[in-house]
Structure 1
Amino acid sequence: MKDILIYSSAWCPFCVRAKMLLDSKNLSYTELDVDQQPELRREMMERAQRHTVPQIFIGDHHVGGCDDLFALERAGELDPLLAD
C-alpha cells in the first residue's frame, strides 16, 4: 500500500469529506494541517501548484482535492492507485 499524504485545514469541509472517504476504506494517512504552519502551506503550494485544501498525494502521485479523490473512487481507480 502506498503512503497517503493529505494537506488539510481543520475548518475545511472538503478536508473532512476526503478524510471520511479514506477512513471508510480503513486507509491510514499522514495529515499535515496547514492552518498554523505557513511553511507547510508553502510546501503544499509548491508541490501541488494549487493553494486550496485538501491536497492529496498517494505515493508520488498528486491526486488533487476532495472532488478528485471521489472521482477516482467512483471510476474504480482509487484502489489500483493505492496498490504497490
Structure 2
Amino acid sequence: MARVEMYSKSTCPYCFRAKDLLQGKGVRIEEYNLDGGGPKRDEMIDRSGRMTVPQIFIDGRHVGGCDDLFALERQGKLDAMLAA
C-alpha cells in the first residue's frame, strides 16, 4: 500500500470527506494537523504551492485537495495509485 500524507485542520469538512474516502479504502493516513499553524504549515506550502487544506500526497506525489482526490476516484485512477 502506498504512503499517504495529508495536511489538514480539525474543523475542515473537506478534510473529513477526503479522510472518509481514503479510510473507506483501508488506507492508513499520516495526518499533519495544522490547527496551530507553525512549521508544518510552511512545509505544506513549500511542498504543494497551496495554502488551503487538505493537501494530499501519495508516495510523495502531490495529488491536490479533496476535489482533486475525488476526481481521481471518478476517473478510476485512485486505486492504482494507492496500490503502488
TM-score normalised according to structure 1 size: 0.95
Tell me how far apart the structure 1 counterparts of residues 7 and 25 of structure 2 sit (CA, whole Å): 19
Root mean square deviation of aligned Cα: 0.8
- Taking only the aligned residue pairs, the percentage that are identical comes to 52
**Farther-moved stretch of structure 1 (31-40 vs 65-74):** 31-40
SS in 1 for 2:7: strand
Distance in 2 (alpha carbons) for counterparts of 1:15 and 1:64: 12
Which stretch of the first structure deviates more once superposed, 17-26 or 46-55?
17-26
Are 1:5 and 2:5 counterparts? yes
Aligned residues: 84
Which residue in the other structure is 1:64 paired with? 64
Task: Report the Cα distance in structure 1 between the residues aligned to 2:25 and 2:79, rounded to whole angstroms.
Answer: 9
| Runs of 4+ in structure 1 over 2 Å off | none
* Cα displacement string for residues 34-80 of structure 1 (whole angstroms, at most 9, x for unaligned residues): 11241100000000000000000000210100000000001100011
TM-score normalised by the chain length of structure 2:
0.95
Counterpart CA distance in 1 for 2:24 and 2:82 is 15
Paired residue type of 1:76: G
Distance, in Å, in 2 between the alignment partners of 1:74 and 1:13 is 20
Structure 2: stretches of 5+ with no match in the other structure: none
